[in-house]
Chains A and B, each alone.
Chain A
Amino acid sequence: MFNKIVWATDGSDAADDALPVTKMLAAEGGKEVLVVHCEELTVPGKAAGPFPVYANEDELQAKIDGQVAELSRDGVSAHLKNVRARVGGAAHVIADAAREAQADVIVVGTRGHTAIGGLLLGSVTQRLLHIAHCPVVVVPSREHSNND
């Protein structure tokens, strides 16, 4: 049923919380996990071109590389796709990557880096639910679970 799974991550803790669920969905052998890392870029300003929104983008990338390696060690056929989007465009880039890969399901956290206090459902996840061609699994962050 879920032969190709997309795990969308921006390197945030909330995205990391969705990784165990990705593994659960991939529990059977022969499944493929495409890790889509979307890096958001600022809109070009007066002085210079677009910059990554997150100053620690290199660290995040290193962490994600490690997570892909971990998936492979767990016997999952894991691939990494790094994509870039302008601020506000991440959901579309993720949905496009999933469609292109003919993914059966997309796994995301409820919100990523851009969480705004009080909003439990991030804007990227919210938008993804509207535009994704396939089912989406939304994984609540542990912090949220513990509060209940």
Chain B
Amino acid sequence: MFNTIVWATDDSPDANRALPYALALAARDGAALHAVHVIERFPAGRLPNEPVRCDEPALDARIKAETLRLAGEKDLQVTLHMPSATVGHVAERIAEIAQREDADLIVVGTRGHTAIGALVLGSVTQQLLRVAICPVLTVPQSASEIAEPSPVTTTTDAA
């Protein structure tokens, strides 16, 4: 039984592909779901504390709306966290929140917005696997068809 599940999101297609897994496990076990979006900010310099992404406000709004929708539509306990971190420290912040909330599982896509061409595993996910103290479920792009948001599965596997 999972009691507390963290879904790390940057509203990228990969993060959204990971969501059905977080939802299905949370619904199955009655676990609390924590959506975590870390706002990456520039350190001191010309743009001190400015978000790295110029569309950050729009992104934040979309994530807030999505979390609200989840909290309403599903019979789930959903909490949204939107902390800031300086560039390159996103994974540590996700891991911190997971630890603080005593999470059993962190669910992520294999990479987020900052995907670089041939890199299958994004730097945030890669880093998260090093710093997280709880299991991390990584969802690859190829898993897209498998994960339908069907919280209650009563499939009898004939195989």
Whether B135 lies near A138 (C-beta < 8 A) is: yes
Chain A: number of interface residues, binned into ranges = 20 to 34
From residue B105, how far is it (CB to closest CB) to chain A in Å? 8
Total CB contacts across the A-B interface at under 8 A: 84
- What's the dominant secondary structure at chain B's contact region? loop
Stretch from A7-15, A63-71, A126-134 forming part of the interface with B: A126-134
Known contacts A24-B104, A148-B99; is-contact A1 B25 (Cβ 8 Å): yes
Which residues from B are CB-within-8-Å of A18?
135
Query: Given B28, B136, B143, which contacts A27 in the complex, CB threshold below 8 Å?
Result: B28
From residue A139, how far is it (CB to closest CB) to chain B in Å? 4
Whether A135 lies near B139 (C-beta < 8 A) is: yes
Most buried by B among A28, A32, A138: A138
Whether B110 lies near A129 (C-beta < 8 A) is: yes
B114 contacts A by Cβ under 8 Å: no
B147 contacts A by Cβ under 8 Å: yes
Query: Given A132, A133, A138, A145, which contacts B129 in the complex, CB threshold below 8 Å?
Result: A138
State which residues 2-30 of A face B: CB under 8 Å. Answer: 3-4, 18, 21, 24, 27-28, 30
Which residues from B are CB-within-8-Å of A4?
157, 159
Whether B28 lies near A28 (C-beta < 8 A) is: yes
Whether B153 lies near A3 (C-beta < 8 A) is: yes
Known contacts A1-B21, A102-B159; is-contact A132 B140 (Cβ 8 Å): yes
A148 to B24, CA, bound (A): 29
Query: Given A30, A130, A134, A139, which contacts B135 in the complex, CB threshold below 8 Å?
Result: A139
Whether A133 lies near B135 (C-beta < 8 A) is: no
A49 to B136, CA, bound (A): 39
Which A residue sits closest to B148, measured CB to CB? Answer: A1
Which residues from A are CB-within-8-Å of B143?
133-135
A31 to B28, CA, bound (A): 14
State which residues 72-112 of A face B: CB under 8 Å. Answer: 102, 104-105, 110
Whether B132 lies near A129 (C-beta < 8 A) is: no
Q: Mark A110-148, 1 if CB is under 8 A from B, else 0.
A: 100000000011000110011011111111100011001
On A, residues with C-beta under 8 Å from B are 1, 3-4, 18, 21, 24, 27-28, 30-32, 102, 104-105, 110, 120-121, 125-126, 129-130, 132-140, 144-145, 148
- Between-chain CB contacts (< 8 Å), 13 pairs: A27-B1, A27-B29, A30-B157, A104-B146, A105-B137, A120-B130, A129-B129, A133-B142, A136-B138, A139-B135, A140-B134, A140-B135, A145-B134
